[in-house]
Amino acid sequence: MNYLRGAFKPACNISITFTDGKNRKQVPVKKDNGQMVMNPLFHSQETIAGKVCIEPYQGKKVEHNGVKVELLGQIEMYFDRGNFYDFTSLVRELDVPGEIYEKKAYPFEFPTVEMPYETYNGVNVRLRYVLKVTVTRGYAGSIVEYQDFVVRNYSPLPPINNSIKMEVGIEDCLHIEFEYNKSKYHLKDVILGKVYFLLVRIKIKNMDLEIRRRESTGAGANTHVETETLAKFELMDGAPVRGESIPVRLFLTPYDLTPTHKNINNKFSVKYYLNLVLVDEEDRRYFKQQEITLYRLKDESS
Amino acid sequence: MHRALDANNLREVLKYSALMLSELRTSKLSPQKYYDLYMRAFDQLRQLEIFLRDESRHGLPVVDLYELVQHAGNILPRMYLLCTVGSVYIKSKQAPSKDVLKDLVEMCRGVQHPIRGLFLRSYLTQVSRDKLPEIGSDYQGDANTVMDAVEFVLQNFTEINKLWVRIQHQGPGTVREKQEKERNELRDLVGKNLHVLGQIEGVHLEMYKETVLPRILEQVVNCKDDFAQYYLMECIIQVFPDEYHLQTLETLLAACTQLMPTVDTKIVLTQLMDRLSNYAVSSPDVLHEFLQVEAFAKLNNAIGKVIDTQIEMPIVGAMTLFVSLLTFALRVHPDRLDYVDQVLGACVVKLSSGPKLEDARAMKQVVALLSAPLEKYNDIVTALTLSNYPRVMDHLDDGTNKLMAMLIIQSIMKNNSCISTADKVEVLFELIKGLIKDLDGNAYRGEDFQEEQNSVARLINMLDNEEPEEMLKIICVVRKHLMTGGTRRLPFTIPPLIFSALRLVRQLESQGGDMTGEDLPATPRKIFQILNQTIEVLSSVPCPELALRLYLQCAEAASDCDLEPAAYEFFTQAFILYEEEIADSKAQVTAIHLIAGTLQRINVFGVENRDTLTPKATGGGYSARLLKKPDQCRAVYACSHLFWVDDLDGIKDGERALLCLRRALRIANAAQQMANATRGSSGSVTLFVEILNKYIYFYEKGSPHITPSDIQSLIELINTEMQSDNNGNTRTHSDPFFTSTLRYMRFQKQKGGLMGDKYELIKL
């Protein structure tokens, strides 16, 4: 029995720790099962260093054909689950084939790793960075341990940041002019603007501003687009009259947003839209969607 | 929420507050119910505010808090929370209050639903009330000026008003009435803003003039809603100090003319004028300000404009305006009659432009308009100088005209004012011509007519002037007017005129006889001529008895003036009247007695004239021709006095007097016999006793023709008559009369002296 159990159990316990793991910022990440776990946060061009500890279970020895640690950047499409596409792959051999009898620690280091993409958890796609430790064994299958970490990259302030201004309407029915102060917002930004009513012939019940995320996966004919509404913010209650100007002020902080991702490795894109929705008394919706670019700004506290 | 409050859990607190406030998003409630809900939410928010103010309880700086509450997805709870936190924010003084307020008022725009918005903004007003950066408040600083406070309130007011106006556009027209009611309930929320504005310390005149008022008025005018305009104008007038109104009168009035035609501008203006005039009355120092800004002229202009522009305004409205303007003028400028006249003039123009007044209420207003100066000046004389006054009266209908005339007269009576020039009298009678002439063919009915005419009569008595010449003119004027009055009025109006004229005559007389020169216009002679003509009219009315009396009065007066021909003429007229017009026997009796009495007093007649006149009255004349014997008898013995005037130079024709008495006796006898013949018993002895008394009178007066024996025999006669009378039936009332006569004689006897001696001769 003991033997049997031992056959299904991994023969050793592998743990991965980062060098500055205690001080490094942790961010919550939602796992597949819905639980939130805290993962360390890195940026591109950082050196990722740490220690891999392999500790065989009591009285066991681990025979292996080598130990390696890999740093992987993977994209996983959910329609093709389990099939990862690695866009980054770095390997460090930690040990030559041999046997491990007792707890053994291997330091490792990936200096200034290029990690161009951010970690992303979407509806149909996931981009993750992971450290993968593999203890290769010839006969019993390799022992693998993963350690996820999060990558976030800062963008510089965009040099051009025009406001979005537009006049839209339905003839003889509704004419509005709206304006958002910028077209590019950082994640803790505030959207300011106003909606100006030029002509109102319908009975408007309320007006909302929605933030929508459009995630398109695949390429060519297989492109799959998923849109979700991340925020619904009521701008106006009741029916305005001609000439009324309604202020817009939307703090982005409370929403779970990511920067805009454009064509990540030809696999997917994430775009954000501001959707201005007017609802009339018969619950008809009139809307106008405008793309905004989100970026992560360096001097954020997070 | 309370649990979260107790637990100092900020996130939960905010979550539950937002939840609670979401209740306010309902649109199913009527304003009344919504208000209840709002009040309950309000209480809760107060607790929240207290919680938020204490940073130690939630551990978040207020700036972050201010941002945090803006994360709420629904706007209404978001805004309520924002206002609450905003007020905390200002209190904490971490940000200039003007910025926060500006932000709040701007953000509140998001709520466009009228009722919800209204309440939200009213909440904002409420929480910010004590946080405005006004002068003297903690929140005033370099960056925060009163201007900001004003700006804030103004903006909030503008928005709140827009929302309020918009209520009516909601829903179909059928519920219009209900909406009006609802709006009425909500109007306090709007007015509160203006109230706050009025209370901001440090809004000085300049600022008010330059900023506050124009902004408000712009809003008022632009909202194009009659209901709102009316209410707001009212608010403006009530909320701001009078002094400001005065200085900005022009602006204010200009706005008035721009209001919607359906707005009841007159009430607004009336209130304004009321306030201003109260202000003017409150202290005399401010009067020069009124002059300085030419308040009256401006008001006058404005009212003219309002009336011109609002063509549909009923005439009653215009009149009401005029009344208030007039009241204003009277109160503020009591010394400026020309103002009053101007108002009346404008009124005339208005009235004459339209058809004849028919609206009873308008009429009432005109009456009020006309009475106002009367009451103010307490003196009709002032009113008489107003040239437009009669022209306004022309526009009244007859009934009202009469009423007005009555008012005028009453005013004169009440104040005992004396109208003393002919011109004024002329105007006055022009005014009250409703009473004096028939304006239409209306029948004269009942007491009203009498009452009216009595008033006119009284009025005539009020006219007086020391100067005979002027007085004569007055009389002529009055007469001219009265003559137009028609037959029904003359009996009322002529007598006072006559007496007034007679008073003048007496006055002239008392001033001395040398006034009778021909060159003087006011001679008694002339007056008597006028009088003669006047009474003549009366006799044609026909009202002969009255005319007769007046003739006699005149005759007497003429006699006092030693104008024999005039007196004679009057008598002649009187006699003619008597002969031709007076048919009723009772009237005849009275007339005879009157004639006799007058004739007796008149001493101006020469022998010849007298001889012509007296017999007419006596035996051969009228007395004898009376129908009833006792009347004859009495008339005759009365006439006996004609021959015995107990004056120094009076005629003392004892013989003819005795003749009269004898005749009376004869008639009495005849009467007695007639009574016997017809009723079988002798009549009363009253006549005899009366004649006896006459005898005694003349005897006492020393008439030589009355002898004691005459009296004695008469007494015996009476005694016998009485006995025969006592035989049969009742004792009559003449008994005591006779007894007392006898007692008188005995008394005189006992008294002795000269009179006693005389009576000694009579045996009783």
Separation CA A99–CA A104 (nearest Å): 11
B141 pLDDT more than 60: no
The verdict on A237 touching B (C-beta cutoff 8 Å) is yes
A157 part of a folded domain:
no
Which among A234, A239, A247 has the least Cβ separation from residue B109? Answer: A247
Same domain, A37 and A141: yes
According to the per-residue pLDDT averaged within each range, which of A138-147, B198-207, B275-284 is highest?
A: A138-147
pLDDT at A212: 92
- Domain-located, residue A38: yes
| Residues A20 and A84 reside in one and the same domain | yes
Secondary element (H or E) of residue B599: helix B585-601
pLDDT at position B419? 63
Among B185, B128, B118, CA closest to B153: B128
pLDDT for residue B518: 44
Contact residues, chain B, for A251 at CB < 8 Å:
67, 70-71
Domain boundary among the residues A151, A186, A218 is at A151
pLDDT the model gives residue B680: 55
Same domain, A123 and A209: no
- Does B109 contact A241 at a Cβ distance shorter than 8 Å? no
Q: Per the domain annotation, does A1 fall within a domain? A: no
Show residues of chain A in contact with B110, CB under 8 Å: 234-237, 246-247
How far apart are the CA of B155 and the nearest CA of chain A, in angstroms?
A: 13
Residue A159 lies in a domain: no
**CATH fold for domain B629-761:** 1.25.40
Question: How close A234 comes to chain B (CA, Å)?
Answer: 5
On whether both A146 and A252 belong to a single domain, the answer is no
- Of A135, A153, A231, the closest CA to residue A190 belongs to A231
% of residues, chain A, pLDDT over 90: 11
Domain endpoint, select from A118, A151, A184:
A151
> Are B110 and A254 within 8 A, CB to CB?
no
Q: Which residue of B has its CA nearest to A251?
A: B71
Instruction: Compute the distance between CA of residue B413 and CA of residue B391 in angstroms, rounded to an integer.
Output: 23
Q: Is B343 on the interface with A (CB under 8 A)?
A: no
Residues A181 and A118 in one domain: no
N-terminal to C-terminal alpha carbon distance within chain A: 51
Shortest CA distance to B74 belongs to which of B1, B127, B19? B19
Transcribe B100-152 into DSSP letters.
HHHHHHHHGGGB--HHHHHHHHHHHHHHHGGG---TTSTT--SS--HHHHHHH
**Cα–Cα distance for residue pair B59/B10, rounded to 1 Å:** 8
A130 and A226 share a domain? no
Region A242-256 average pLDDT: 87
- A253/B112 Cβ within 8 A: no
Q: Tens digits of per-residue pLDDT, B601-642? A: 666 566 666 666 666 665 455 665 666 666 666 766 666 666
Span B736-749, average pLDDT: 75
Question: Do A177 and A133 fall into the same domain?
Answer: no
Task: Name the residue range of residue A49's domain.
Answer: 12-151
Question: pLDDT at position B516, please?
Answer: 46
Residue A10 CB coordination number (10 Å): 16
Determine, yes or no, domain membership for A158: no
Identify the DSSP state of B163. H
Residue of B3, B100, B10, B104 whose CA lies nearest to B52: B10
Residue A225 and residue A132 in one domain: no
What is the arithmetic mean of pLDDT over B134-161? 68
What's the pTM value of the predicted model, to 2 decimals?
A: 0.63
Query: Which 8-state DSSP code applies to residue B442?
Result: P
Which pLDDT belongs to residue A271? 92
Structure-model confidence comparison of residues B750 and A291, the more confident one? A291
- Among the partner-chain residues B106, B110, B114, the one whose CB lies closest to the CB of A235 is B110
Q: Same structural domain for residues A240 and A267?
A: yes
Tell me the pLDDT of chain B averaged across its residues.
69
Domain boundary pick from A151, A184, A217: A151
**Model pLDDT for residues B554-608, shown as the tens digit of each residue:** 666 666 666 667 667 776 776 776 666 666 666 766 776 677 667 666 665 666 6
Q: Spell out the SS3 assignment of chain A.
A: CHHHHHHHCCCEEEEEEECCCCCCCEEEEECCCCCEEEEEEECCCCCEEEEEEEEECCCCCEEECEEEEEEEEEEEEHHHCCCEEEEEEEEEEEECCEEECCCEEEEEEECCCCCCCCCEECCCEEEEEEEEEEEECCCCCCEEEEEEEEECCCECCCCCCCCEEEEEEECCCEEEEEEECCCEEECCCEEEEEEEEEEECCCEEEEEEEEEEEEEECCHHHCEEEEEEEEEEEEEECCCCCCCEEEEEEECCCCCCCCCEEEECCCEEEEEEEEEEEEECCCCEEEEEEEEEEECECCCCC
pLDDT at res. A273 = 92
The verdict on A219 and A291 lying in the same domain is yes
Of A246, A251, A254, the CB nearest to B110: A246
Count of domains for chain A: 2
A49 phi, psi to nearest 5 deg: -130, 155
Is A238's CB within 8 Å of B113's CB? yes
Number of CB atoms found within 10 A of residue B518's CB: 8
For residue B111, the chain A residue with the least C-alpha distance is: A237
pLDDT single digits (tens) B365-413: 767 766 666 666 656 666 666 666 666 666 666 666 666 677 777 666 6
Selected residues 242-261 of chain A with any CB under 8 Å from a CB in chain B: 244-247, 249, 251, 253-254
Q: What is d(CA B730, CA B80) in angstroms, rounded to the nearest whole number? A: 109
Which percentage of chain B shows pLDDT scores above 70?
A: 41
Q: Please report, for chain B, the start and end positions of each structural domain, with discontinuous segments joined by +.
A: 1-95, 260-379, 629-761
| Residues A107-123 pLDDT 10s | 999 888 888 888 888 88
Same-domain check for residues A146 and A264: no
Average pLDDT, chain A: 85
Identify whether the C-beta of residue B537 lies closer than 8 Å to the C-beta of residue B580.
no
What are the pLDDT digits (tens) for A136-189?
Answer: 887 777 888 888 888 888 888 888 888 889 898 888 888 999 999 988 998 888
Q: Could you report the per-residue pLDDT of B316-369, keeping only the tens digit for each?
A: 667 777 777 777 777 666 666 677 777 777 767 766 666 665 666 666 776 776
pLDDT the model gives residue B52: 78
Do A206 and A280 reside in the same domain of the chain?
yes
Both structure tokens of B365: 């207003």
Bridge partners (DSSP) of residue A90 are A71
- Determine the residue among A197, A204, A234, A280 to mutate to test chain B binding: the one whose Cβ has the most chain B Cβ atoms within 10 Å: A234
Weakest mean pLDDT among A92-96, B101-105, B234-238, B668-672: B668-672
Q: What ipTM score was computed for the predicted complex, to two decimals?
A: 0.79
Specify the CATH number for the domain of residue A112. 2.60.40.640
- Asked if residue A302 is part of any domain, the answer here is no
Longest Cα separation, chain A? 85
pLDDT number for residue B376: 64
